[in-house]
A and B are shown apart, each in its own frame.
Chain A
Amino acid sequence: MASSLYLCLLRAVFLVCFVNPLIQGLSGDANVVQNPHHELEENLTGLPIVTFKWHHVQTPYLVIIWVFVAGLAKLSVIELNHHVTSVIPESGLLIILGFILGGIVWGADKAQTFKLLPPTFFYYLLPQIILDASYFMPNKLFFSNLGAILIYAIFGTCWNAATVGLSLWGCYEAGAMGNLDIGLLQFLLFGSLIAAVDPVAVIAVFEEVHVNEVLFILVFGESLLNDGVTVVLYNVFDAFVALGGPKIDAAEIFKGIFSFVVVAFGGSFLGVVFAILLSLLTRCTKHIQIIEAGFVFVVGYLAYLTAEMLSLSAILSITFCGICCQKYVNANMDEKSVTTVRHAMKVLANGSETMIFVFLGVTAIDTEIWIWNTGFILLTLLFVFIYRIIGVFLLTWMLNKFRLVPIEVIDQVVMSYGGLRGAVAYGLAAMLDEDKIPEKNLMISTTLIVVYFTVILQGLTMKPLVQWLKVKRAAHSDLKLIEKLNNRAFDHILAAVEDICGRIGDNWWTRGWNRFEENYISWLLMKPKARRNRDYLFSIFHKLNLEDAVNYVSEGERQGSLGFIRSDEAANVDFKKQFGSEFTDVMPDIMVDMSNYELEIENFSATSIVKDTIPSVSLDIHGQDRKNAVDDINAHHLLQQHLYRSRKNHRHKYSRSHFSINQSEDEVQEIFQRTMRSRLESFKSAKMGVNPAKKITKHHKKELTHKMANGHPDGTGHLYGDEVDSAVGSETGAIRGTFMRDTYTVGAGIENPVFLPDMDSPTHSSLPWLMETEAVAPSQRAQRRLPWTPNRLRRLAPMRISTCSTDSFLMADLEEHEEQPQTDHEEIRPAFD
């Protein structure tokens, strides 16, 4: 509660801080009213009780009002009829709303007093969007496709700029657009500013279209990097234009290319430097955790401004700052700060995005900028569209010669169609110098039309296009449960097979880099603690499980193999008695229920068990027919909600408006625990050479679970896996309780060399499909109390409890017998009393 409050406050503070100076840019007449103080004071005759001091607050007030309006705009767009929002992309709707708002302002003022000015855009709106995109960049995917991304970003952008500029110039020379005062260099300048695909617009549209991850990262990465490229290109051509045609010789062109390289790589390098700085900084913010989240934003912004100051590429600088620091910053900072950063990033980026689209719309309602030249505008639209397609297909054709997995034609179509232009192009156009480029307004209006055309029209048709191209896939939706189930199963299978085949980009270089990174860079940039805790999770966990198994086996051998299981069973029976007697005292009516279960369990009628635990979802399939339809929907809904998503579906997706990272982490954790547990079971049974007698213990287990769930006073007890929970589960639950202490003292560092994985296999049961079947779900209580995330391995120890205490009451019971106090036990007692 407190933390969420803190979060809200923080967001508000950030919003105000960032957007505060906005008005200087937004309102053209902000400085008209500079010093209103003395006028007011002169008129003072008596002590006023209340005065109206609009001029004091005018600037921040207008800013906040606009932010508020933009927020409302977003809200209304989201809340609109879903039929509308599913057809028209959100960004397009926001622009249209901007038109309306601009119209209102125009109607009131008879002039456009608010428009998006380049400094506002480049200094206050763009940085956080780029920072957000890079900070959440799926790094592995990004770097494994870096080659392709760079080729698209650099050569694609240059291609676009050159071809559009030259073609327009050619058409102009041919007389297609009448008499304009534009030379070749100006055309190239215009081409360079219109060349870049815009990250803001692209993400906004691609978020709504489901594309595969490689395509996504290609488009996303390209749009991020080519912004940098286009700004550099723009500056070079701007300088050329300023220099004037005759003065440009080979040396100047060479200098231009050289400055292109320096500016691009210098910016990237500066970003990396700031990333290192930030990582080092977060190493030592242990005692000021409350503000460490702020450093991410401040240093990121500093990277941007510093690059701007040094006339390096600011966009590339902040991009690489975000990409490089994310890993170390997330590991170094406290978990709360990490969450704060994530939330705040999303708030800022999403807010900026909304503002940008709204103001792109508002800006349009201004008679000053609109100069119509049919030839110029239509030809620009045409060339932008055509050359994007040609460029993508050409570059992809070359890339596919080197790629193991070629980029398919359909992906190329989506890529070329997804070449949306956005606010960066507009910002650059608005930055043009009217003295040097007489036709500035024509360029602005053309840019705006290109932006509207691509964002609204292409965005609108994107989804139908994708669906049409993939018509085979979209033709059929999951109508039956078994289809739904199997489709998901297919996804999982594919993901697994892909993992088995190995990552495509896995080669000598990446392995070498990983080793280097692990040994040196992490050492430098990560807290020692965080470093230790990093995700060696899987191997360590595996090792620990094996250690448990060693103990289990050696203990089993000490006691004589089967005696072990027998004693465990006795414990169950004992517990059952005791549990029962305690319950008869306290809640006799529940005992009645329990006896019902005991009867019903005999004939395994799963639908009728525990009707009263969760009444809302009791699905009695043998019930009345009229209930069937509802139940059917229910079942579909349940399955839809609870099926684990395949990793293919939720990894590596960047979204500016949602982040459900936590949810998928939870799922991953859950699956991981279950897998490890089932492996442990099969390992143990193989090691023991015994196939545990399922039939014998199953019924005890079932009863116990039911009693437990039913008797739980707060009613939160759910039933887990009594079908799935095998006898093995209950045994090991108990047994692990016994050995918990041993493994704790042994610790993670020590491993028994005799007992490495190789030892294991030969005794596995012979039928492959019969092997290790049952996964076991940890009890919800254990889960809730003992959360862990992969980057906080220091909680490994409690996590292990949670994996083994699927039946914590069994452990509690065991402890009672063996007089071993344990935390689980302590917490469970009140539930019994």
Chain B
Amino acid sequence: MGLQGWRNVLALKTSKNNNRAAWQRAFPVPLSHSQITRLYSRFHSLDKGENGALSREDFQRIPELAINPLGDRIINAFFPEGEDQANFRGFMRTLAHFRPVEDNEKNKDLTSGEPLNSRTNKLLFAFRLYDLDRDDKISRDELLQVLRMMVGVNISDEQLGSIADRTIQEADTNGDMCISFSEFIKVLEKVDVEQKMSIRFLH
């Protein structure tokens, strides 16, 4: 769906006999009208090429991301495998990970598969930031790269290496010196991921 397509979707909003349910059927992502409108206008203003999709450059132009140590990794999360354009649907899908988990949602929606903002999916999002080669394991090198991004330059490499080793030891249960996704979930089970990976704006 190109830009025109999304304009049509937005036009739906204005039609009178269109209720919220129909709107949500049209959209895979449950968000309120005003939020989608707002995010669409944001999407549109980010889209400097005006082709209905965002490129990496469009994201990199956001100045705050340049001073976010994980900025570029997060940008990558917006691009599905093998693509270098993110359309509005993809944009929304990625952002939907950050919707807060509502109480009434926890036992709902079991029929339609896991929602994007579930705990597991939130964790998976974080996990993929580490797992560059997508083998569903965080290797020591992958961990070390992220560590290096997230710490200041005043820490030496063998210090960092030892931290990485320890981190892996903490999580690694089967002794393969890698952190698999199930190990990742297990070791972070006490962390309140639902809260920490939700932004208030995406209610």
Residues of A within 8 A of B (CB): 404-405, 472-473, 476, 479-483, 485-502, 504, 538-539, 542, 606-610, 613-614, 617-621, 631-632, 635, 638-639, 642-644, 647, 667-668, 670-672, 674-676, 678-679, 718-724, 757-758, 760-762, 764, 766-775, 777-778, 780, 783
Scoring A490, A722, A766 by chain B CB atoms within 10 A of each residue's CB, the highest score goes to: A490
Chain A residues, CB < 8 A from B129: 489, 493
Say yes or no: B67 contacts A632, CB within 8 Å. Answer: no
15 contacts between A and B (CB under 8 A): A404-B35, A489-B70, A491-B196, A497-B199, A500-B42, A502-B45, A643-B150, A644-B69, A724-B148, A758-B48, A758-B55, A758-B57, A769-B76, A769-B128, A772-B72
Q: Contacts A647-B64, A768-B79 given; indicate if A639 touches B151 (C-beta within 8 A).
A: yes
Chain B residues, CB < 8 A from A674: 69, 149
Within 8 A of A (CB), among B20-71: 34-35, 38-39, 42, 45-46, 48-49, 55-57, 59-71
Scoring A613, A670, A674, A760 by chain B CB atoms within 10 A of each residue's CB, the highest score goes to: A674
Chain B residues, CB < 8 A from A472: 192, 195
Specify the main secondary structure of chain B where it touches its partner.
Answer: helix
Minimum CB–CB distance for B146 against chain A, Å = 7
Within 8 A of A (CB), among B151-181: 151-163, 165-167, 169-171, 179
Chain A residues, CB < 8 A from B1: none
Say yes or no: B132 contacts A482, CB within 8 Å. Answer: no
> Which of A500, A719, A758, A778 meets B59, CB within 8 Å?
A500
**Cα distance A614–B61 in the bound complex, in angstroms:** 39
Chain A residues, CB < 8 A from B125: 493
Stretch touching chain A among B8-16, B81-89, B110-118: B81-89
Minimum CB–CB distance for A573 against chain B, Å = 23
> Which of A679, A724, A780 meets B145, CB within 8 Å?
A724
> Which of B71, B141, B198 meets A675, CB within 8 Å?
B71
**Cα distance A777–B148 in the bound complex, in angstroms:** 9
Say yes or no: B132 contacts A761, CB within 8 Å. Answer: no
Minimum CB–CB distance for B16 against chain A, Å = 23
**Cα distance A773–B82 in the bound complex, in angstroms:** 16
Minimum CB–CB distance for A543 against chain B, Å = 11
Residue of B nearest to A608 (CB): B158
Say yes or no: B57 contacts A635, CB within 8 Å. Answer: no
Say yes or no: B126 contacts A493, CB within 8 Å. Answer: yes
Minimum CB–CB distance for B33 against chain A, Å = 12
Chain A residues, CB < 8 A from B84: 761-762, 764, 766, 768
**Cα distance A494–B170 in the bound complex, in angstroms:** 25
Say yes or no: B152 contacts A644, CB within 8 Å. Answer: yes
**Cα distance A157–B126 in the bound complex, in angstroms:** 45
Say yes or no: A723 contacts B157, CB within 8 Å. Answer: yes
Residues of B within 8 A of A (CB): 34-35, 38-39, 42, 45-46, 48-49, 55-57, 59-74, 76-84, 95, 98, 125-126, 128-129, 131-134, 141, 144-163, 165-167, 169-171, 179, 187-188, 190-193, 195-202
Say yes or no: A678 contacts B72, CB within 8 Å. Answer: yes
Residue of A nearest to B38 (CB): A404
Minimum CB–CB distance for B132 against chain A, Å = 5
> Which of B35, B45, B64, B150 meets A489, CB within 8 Å?
B150
Chain A residues, CB < 8 A from B160: 723
Residue of A nearest to B196 (CB): A490
Say yes or no: B199 contacts A501, CB within 8 Å. Answer: yes
Say yes or no: A764 contacts B157, CB within 8 Å. Answer: no
Say yes or no: A497 contacts B95, CB within 8 Å. Answer: yes
Residue of A nearest to B128 (CB): A769
Q: Contacts A497-B95, A497-B98, A758-B57 given; indicate if A619 touches B42 (C-beta within 8 A).
A: no
Say yes or no: B82 contacts A766, CB within 8 Å. Answer: yes
The 6 closest A-B pairs by CB, nearest first: A606-B161, A499-B64, A619-B162, A777-B153, A538-B63, A768-B79
Say yes or no: B70 contacts A493, CB within 8 Å. Answer: yes
Q: Contacts A404-B38, A489-B146, A768-B79 given; indicate if A647 touches B201 (C-beta within 8 A).
A: no
Chain B residues, CB < 8 A from A482: 167, 170-171, 179, 187-188
**Cα distance A719–B199 in the bound complex, in angstroms:** 37
Chain A residues, CB < 8 A from B62: 499-500
Chain B residues, CB < 8 A from A642: 151-152, 154-155
Say yes or no: B128 contacts A638, CB within 8 Å. Answer: no
Chain B residues, CB < 8 A from A667: 152
Say yes or no: B65 contacts A473, CB within 8 Å. Answer: no
Known: A482-B179, A486-B126, A642-B152. 13 other contacts (CB 8 A): A482-B167, A485-B167, A490-B196, A497-B199, A500-B95, A501-B95, A720-B157, A761-B84, A769-B73, A772-B76, A774-B148, A780-B153, A783-B153
**Cα distance A609–B98 in the bound complex, in angstroms:** 41
Say yes or no: B156 contacts A718, CB within 8 Å. Answer: yes
**Cα distance A486–B125 in the bound complex, in angstroms:** 12
Say yes or no: B151 contacts A647, CB within 8 Å. Answer: no
**Cα distance A635–B68 in the bound complex, in angstroms:** 23
Minimum CB–CB distance for B103 against chain A, Å = 13
Chain A residues, CB < 8 A from B74: 492-493, 496-497, 500
Scoring A494, A500, A614 by chain B CB atoms within 10 A of each residue's CB, the highest score goes to: A500
Scoring B46, B64, B125 by chain A CB atoms within 10 A of each residue's CB, the highest score goes to: B64
Residue of B nearest to A483 (CB): B191
> Which of A490, A723, A762 meets B148, CB within 8 Å?
A723
**Cα distance A476–B146 in the bound complex, in angstroms:** 24
Chain A residues, CB < 8 A from B144: 723-724
Say yes or no: A481 contacts B57, CB within 8 Å. Answer: no
**Cα distance A492–B67 in the bound complex, in angstroms:** 10
Chain B residues, CB < 8 A from A404: 34-35, 38, 201
Chain A residues, CB < 8 A from B196: 487, 490-491, 494
**Cα distance A496–B197 in the bound complex, in angstroms:** 11
Q: Contacts A609-B158, A667-B152 given; indicate if A760 touches B57 (C-beta within 8 A).
A: yes
Chain B residues, CB < 8 A from A724: 144-145, 148
**Cα distance A504–B134 in the bound complex, in angstroms:** 34
Chain A residues, CB < 8 A from B192: 472-473, 476
Chain B residues, CB < 8 A from A476: 190-192
Residue of B nearest to A702 (CB): B157
Say yes or no: A493 contacts B197, CB within 8 Å. Answer: yes
**Cα distance A777–B157 in the bound complex, in angstroms:** 11
**Cα distance A16–B201 in the bound complex, in angstroms:** 49
Minimum CB–CB distance for A235 against chain B, Å = 40
Minimum CB–CB distance for B37 against chain A, Å = 11
